[in-house]
Structure 1
Amino acid sequence: MDELIAYILQFGSLNQQQIDLLISKGKVLHLKKDDYFSEAGKIPGQVGFVVQGVVRGCYYNNKGEEITRCFISENSLVCDYVNFEANVSSSEYLQAITDCQLIVFSKNDWEELSQIIVGWDSIKNKMVQLCMYQKSRKNPVISQDASTRYMEFMENYPSLINRIPLSHIASYLGVTQQSLSRIRKNIR
């Protein structure tokens, strides 16, 4: 919980009573590799904070190919927030690609924090904005060549290169695994 509290306090101040309330609402969730945090076709029901592990956001394109959209690692929020707030079915999956430990808040508990903690909405909005920015700004630019996209991936996600399957990195970069292997071989 310490990691979560430190994360939240970057965005605003809370007194000890408010911190204790937050701690009482957060539940520890363990996901095994390949388990889903949320699934397409279902309404997202929780907000999570990644304490340990890596989650990926993915979807299936109109050809039925699985596309990795983003990676979410330690000290970050994880949630399909737009659909969570709108209470509508998601079109994406959030899947653990390593064993993960998260602190999760149900929709009711997340909303209750807004009613009880003065200033929570401001803190929450800043956290959500950062979460959405991190997921969108690191998408590879498909007009770049594959080597450039991989170099940018290494720059943006240095701690993930040896922690996640190459198939997910290749999907994220929009290349085949064979192409990724060639790129990696040429860079070394």
Structure 2
Amino acid sequence: MKELFDFILRFGNLNQQQIDFIASKAKETDLPNDEYFSEAGKIARQVAFVVSGILRVCYYDNKGEEITKYFIEENNLVVDLESFDNEICSSTYVQAVTDCKLIVFERKDWLELLQTIVGWEAIVHKIISRALIQKVERRSPLVSEDATTRYLKFLEIYPTVVNKIPLSYIASYLGITQSSLSRIRKNIAKY
């Protein structure tokens, strides 16, 4: 739980009673590699903090091809916000790409925290704003660049991810084929 509170307290202050109440609503759990945290077609009913591991957010395009939108590393919250907040079916999957340790809050408990703890909503808002800004900053440079530059930027953005996850996910994220990615990696290794 220490990691969770170290993270939360970067965005606002809580007293010990509030911290204890949050901890009482949280459940530590393991999410094995390839398992889903949330799935398309279902309503997201949990918020989690990633203690360790890497998840990815993905969907299937109209050709049935799997597209990776982004990765979520440790020390971040994970939730399909639109589905969770509006109680609508999700259009994306959130999948573990390594074994993950999560601290999970059920929807009813999360809502109780929002209603009970003064300042909790402001903290959550700051966390969500940071995540949205981070997502845009990570995606924007990749849009107009050639494949090699996109891969090099990916290495800058996710330095700890590249050797822990399948190349197919990275290729999907970069919008290139796996064989193109292999070629790019081989060319970079020459230098």
Q: Scaled by the length of structure 1, what TM-score is found?
A: 0.97
CA distance in 1, matches of 2:31, 2:82: 22
Cα offset, 1:137, TM superposition? 2.6
CA distance in 1, matches of 2:106, 2:187: 46
Runs of 4+ in structure 1 deviating by more than 3 angstroms, as ranges, are: none
CA distance in 2, matches of 1:93, 1:171: 14
Report Cα offsets for 1:27-67 as digits up to 9, x if no partner.
11211110000000000000010001000000000110000
Matches within 5 A, 1:34-73: 34-73=34-73
SS in 1 for 2:121: helix
User: Residue 187 of structure 1 corresponds to which residue in structure 2?
Assistant: 188
Q: Comparing 62-71 with 123-132, which one deviates more in the overlay?
A: 123-132
User: Residue 165 of structure 2 corresponds to which residue in structure 1?
Assistant: 164
CA distance in 2, matches of 1:134, 1:29: 26
CA distance in 2, matches of 1:119, 1:157: 32
CA distance in 1, matches of 2:29, 2:180: 36
CA distance in 2, matches of 1:135, 1:28: 26
Structure 1 residue 13 corresponds to structure 2 residue 13: yes
Identity of aligned residues (%): 59
Cα offset, 1:135, TM superposition? 2.8
Cα offset, 1:143, TM superposition? 2.8
Give the letter aligned to residue 149 of structure 2: T
Structure 1 residue 92 corresponds to structure 2 residue 85: no
Q: Scaled by the length of structure 2, what TM-score is found?
A: 0.96
Report Cα offsets for 1:89-146 as digits up to 9, x if no partner.
0000000000001001111111101111111110011111122222333126343100
User: Residue 145 of structure 1 corresponds to which residue in structure 2?
Assistant: 146
User: Residue 134 of structure 2 corresponds to which residue in structure 1?
Assistant: 134
Equivalent residue pairs, number: 188
Cα offset, 1:166, TM superposition? 0.5
User: Residue 26 of structure 1 corresponds to which residue in structure 2?
Assistant: 26
CA distance in 2, matches of 1:152, 1:53: 21
